[in-house]
Amino acid sequence: MRSIRSTVAALAASGLLLAGCGLESGGAVPLPVGPDSIQPVPELEGVKITVGSKDFTEQITLGYIIEFAMAAAGADVRDLTNIQGSNSTRDAQLDGQIDLTYEYTGTGWINYLGNETPLPDSTQQYEAVRDADLAANDMVWAVPAPMNNTYALAMNKQTAEQTGVRTLSDYARLVETDPAAATTCVETEFNVRQDGYPGMAAKYEFDPAAAPRQILQTGIIYQATADGNQCKFGEVFTTDGRIIALDLVLLEDDRAFFPKYNPALVMKKSFADAHPEVAEVMAPISSTLTDQVMTELNRQVDVEGNEPADVARNWLVSEGFVTAG
SS (H, E, C) 4-36: CCCHHHHHHHHCCCEECCEECCCEECCCCCEEC
CA 63, distance to chain mean position in Å, is 10
Predicted local distance difference test score (pLDDT) of residue 1: 36
CA 101, CA 50: separation in Å to the nearest integer? 9
The structure's pTM equals: 0.86
12: CB partners within 8 A, 6+ apart: none
CA 279, CA 130: separation in Å to the nearest integer? 14
CA 130, CA 124: separation in Å to the nearest integer? 10
| Predicted confidence pLDDT, tens digits, the chain (325 residues) | 343 333 333 333 334 433 333 455 679 999 999 999 999 999 999 999 999 999 999 999 999 999 999 999 999 999 999 999 899 999 999 999 999 999 999 999 988 999 988 898 999 999 999 999 999 999 999 999 999 999 999 999 999 999 999 999 999 999 999 999 999 999 998 998 878 899 999 999 999 999 899 999 988 999 999 999 999 999 999 999 999 999 999 999 999 999 999 999 999 999 999 999 999 999 999 999 999 999 999 999 999 999 999 999 999 999 999 999 8
CA 53, CA 16: separation in Å to the nearest integer? 12
DSSP 181: G
Predicted local distance difference test score (pLDDT) of residue 25: 61
DSSP 182: G
HSE-CB of 70 using CA atoms within 13 angstroms: 29
Q: Which domains does the chain have, with CATH numbers?
A: 27-148+262-324 (3.40.190.10), 151-250 (3.40.190.120)
pLDDT digits (tens, 9 = 90+) for 21-77: 345 567 999 999 999 999 999 999 999 999 999 999 999 999 999 999 999 999 999
How many beta carbons lie within 10 A of that of residue 284, not counting itself?
Answer: 13
